Each structure stands twice: as C-alpha cells, then as structure tokens.
Amino acid sequence: MFCSKCGAEIPEGAQWCPNCGAQQSTPTQTLQRPDSQTQTAPGSVAGFILSLAGFLADWVPVAGLVLSIIGTVICGKGKKQVAANPAAYTNTGLLTAGHIIGIIGIVCGAIYLVIWLIYALIFGGGTLMLFDFIKDMSDL
C-alpha cells in the first residue's frame, strides 16, 4: 500500500503515513507507484507512419506497396505484444489504425500496380522504357 499524499510505501491497513504523517482516507486504499506507468505500444508510431506513407505513396506502385507492407507487419507485431499484456501499453489505437490503413494501402497498391503494368503493356513505350533501360544497362 502507498501513501495517498507522498507516495511512500506504508504497511497494509495503516491509517497514518510514517513518512509524511498524512492520514489515509481508507485503510485499504492502494495507489500505483509513479514508476509503474504504462508505456507506448511497441511499433505504434512507426507502424502507423509507414502504413500512412505507403497508402499516400500508392501512386508510385512499388514504393507505396512496400511501405504499406512494412507498416502492416510492424503494427501486427506490436498488436501481438500488446495482446500478451494489454494493461501495460497505451496508444493501441495507433496500432489498429496503422494496421487498417496498411491493409488498405496494400490492396490499393496492388490494384494500382496491376493497372500500371496493363497500361504499360497496352500502350508500350513510356513506362516500359525504364525496364528496357535497366535491361540495357545490365547487358553492358
């Protein structure tokens, strides 16, 4: 049990704090120590930012898809750690939001990549010139 005024540890059922002399309102009152605060959920900020960046960068097919996948994986790992001890973490909403945005980014990125490739194959030239350039450079 801890003192309600100074936070010092006091014997269970004590009505007075031996450290500061404050009267305890209820003898069974227990407070958490200040050093036992919850911590931010692991990967919540990084996963959310990467998922959001991937979703926003989906117009660059491969970059957006890769960022969305990485953000989703980080959020998934963070959610597993939080599930093991939910009371120890805060900002679990960022994990959920990052996971959802990442999945949407993966779907949109995959669709855009397919559309981009179909467009490149039908109209040729423009987009595929990059692939031709890379192939030519590798032949040197």
36-84 pLDDT, tens digit per residue, is 566 888 888 999 999 999 999 988 878 899 999 999 999 999 999 888 8
User: Is 89 in a helix, a strand, or coil?
Assistant: strand
Judge if 30 and 52 occupy the same domain: no
Q: Are residues 123 and 80 in the same domain?
A: yes
Print the domain residue range for 13. 1-37
Do 130 and 74 belong to one domain? yes
pLDDT tens-digit map of 93-138: 889 999 999 999 999 999 988 888 887 777 765 555 666 666 777 7
CB 45 within 8 A of CB 94: yes
30/78 same-domain check: no
Report the chain's C-alpha Rg in angstroms.
27
SS3 65: helix
Same domain for 94 and 76: yes
